[in-house]
């Protein structure tokens, strides 16, 4: 492959200098703000984005938080609690003060290059965090982490190598950005003006399954455990395990199954058959004929529900959804059944593009993701011993 030959040529014989992250980037603090305050001062389309844990964000005006807390440089945001991950952001922003971020004040260090290297090593930081009761990392964990600076003896070559690595890896992430656009439009579809809808709690329109099913009626296609529910609303895979004794919770066609361990993983599936599951999976059975079962699924598959679920989850290291609070979740139900059907039709098309593993955009993303991981490993593998200076 000519591209492979190019990359081998780009990296062949390249020496690196391993430096502690804190010595090559500038660490910045956030702002003192609560989730409640973020909600109060949020303004759609405001210029400053404030990051909190998980997917929680707010947009505010420059005067809404202290000027010293606004970061204006392209940065790497360290999400340090709960879901531990790195995010790159190149507009004005801030974040809650238990998080931190980094930017480069050195023309020889490409911040996006460092970001890709940290994403490559994200599991390392997640493993550190998993040792705590509430998954979290501290500033020394990132400050002291060694990062490779290619070709330090030739500044121009070093800058060019970093830039070329970024160019190649960014090309593989464009499709993921398109997926985020779909999620944005999804949120818009589930936002309504006052009077168009009735607000209902989940407990008013559904209940937990009360029926049982014998293990003899189950196989790998209709037994659902939390392990074969897929993350990020991607449905389910066939189970590698089938119970060999006892009665289990029954689910029916149209029921919504939600993984109740670590709700932030967003495991959810709407049943298209009869089957069984265990206590780690919640079975939501619709009871109100005025609510389209598929509309109910789309509401529960929305990020706002999973954020709510995490806010009320019990336990730190292995959080579980609070079954009582889940039934208290309030959401809008369009009064017109045709409007529910219209929303469902649009969101189902989005799902066909973003969640299906066999067609459309996600298949392309999956293929690109494999390529991306392959090339990222190749491009970010250097000769030399990793150590922090």
Q: Where do the structural domains in the chain lie, given as residue ranges?
A: 197-334
Query: Which of 157-171, 264-278, 341-355, 360-374 is predicted least confidently?
Result: 360-374
pLDDT tens figures, 135-147: 899 999 999 999 9
Name which CATH class applies to 197-334: alpha beta
Per cent of the chain over pLDDT 70 is 84
What is the rounded CA–CA span in Å between residue 321 and residue 155? 52
Give yes or no for residue 181 having a pLDDT over 50. Answer: yes
Two tokens at 366?
């999956």
**Burial bucket for residue 53 (CB in 10 Å: 0-12, 13-18, 19+):** buried
Helices and strands: H and E segment counts in the chain: 13, 19
Listed residue (305, 292, 209, 214) closest to 251, CA to CA:
209
What mean pLDDT comes out for the span 345-361?
64
Two tokens at 62?
């420059």
Query: Could you say which DSSP state residue 71 is in?
Result: B
pLDDT in the model for residue 187: 73
pLDDT tens figures, 22-33: 999 999 999 999
- Is there a contact between 236 and 224 (Cβ–Cβ < 8 Å)? yes
């Amino acid at each position: 492959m000519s591209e492979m030959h190019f990359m081998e040529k780009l990296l062949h014989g390249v020496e690196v200098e391993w430096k502690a992250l804190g010595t090559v980037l500038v660490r910045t603090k956030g702002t003192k703000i609560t989730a409640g305050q973020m909600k109060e001062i949020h303004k759609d389309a405001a210029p400053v984005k404030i990051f909190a844990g998980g997917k929680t964000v707010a947009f505010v005006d420059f005067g809404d938080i202290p000027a010293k807390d606004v970061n204006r440089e392209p940065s790497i945001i360290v999400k340090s609690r709960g879901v531990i991950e790195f995010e790159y952001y190149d507009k004005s922003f801030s974040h809650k003060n238990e998080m931190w971020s980094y930017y480069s004040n050195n023309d020889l260090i490409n911040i996006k290059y460092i970001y890709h290297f940290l994403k490559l090593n994200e599991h390392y930081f997640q493993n550190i965090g998993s040792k705590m009761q509430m998954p979290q990392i501290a500033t020394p964990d990132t400050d002291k982490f060694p990062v490779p600076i290619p070709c330090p003896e030739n500044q121009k070559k070093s800058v060019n190598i970093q830039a070329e690595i970024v160019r190649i890896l960014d090309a593989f992430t464009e499709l993921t950005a398109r997926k985020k656009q779909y999620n944005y439009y999804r949120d818009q579809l589930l936002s309504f003006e006052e009077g168009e809808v009735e607000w209902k709690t989940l407990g008013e329109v559904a209940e937990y399954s009360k029926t049982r099913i014998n293990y003899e009626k189950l196989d790998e296609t209709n037994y659902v455990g939390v392990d074969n529910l897929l993350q990020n609303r991607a449905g389910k895979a066939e189970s590698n395990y089938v119970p060999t004794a006892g009665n289990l919770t029954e689910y029916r066609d149209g029921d919504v199954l939600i993984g109740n361990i670590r709700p932030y993983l967003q495991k959810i599936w709407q049943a298209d058959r009869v089957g069984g599951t265990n206590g780690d999976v919640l079975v939501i059975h619709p009871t109100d004929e005025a609510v389209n079962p598929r509309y109910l699924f789309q509401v529960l598959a929305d990020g706002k529900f999973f954020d709510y679920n995490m806010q009320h989850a019990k336990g730190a290291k292995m959080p579980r959804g609070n079954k009582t609070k889940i039934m208290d979740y309030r959401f809008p139900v369009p009064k017109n059944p045709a409007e529910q059907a219209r929303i469902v039709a649009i969101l189902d098309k989005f799902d066909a593009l973003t969640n299906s593993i066999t067609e459309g955009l996600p298949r392309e993303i999956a293929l690109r993701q494999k390529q991306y991981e392959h090339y990222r490993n190749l491009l970010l593998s250097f000769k030399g011993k990793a150590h922090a200076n």
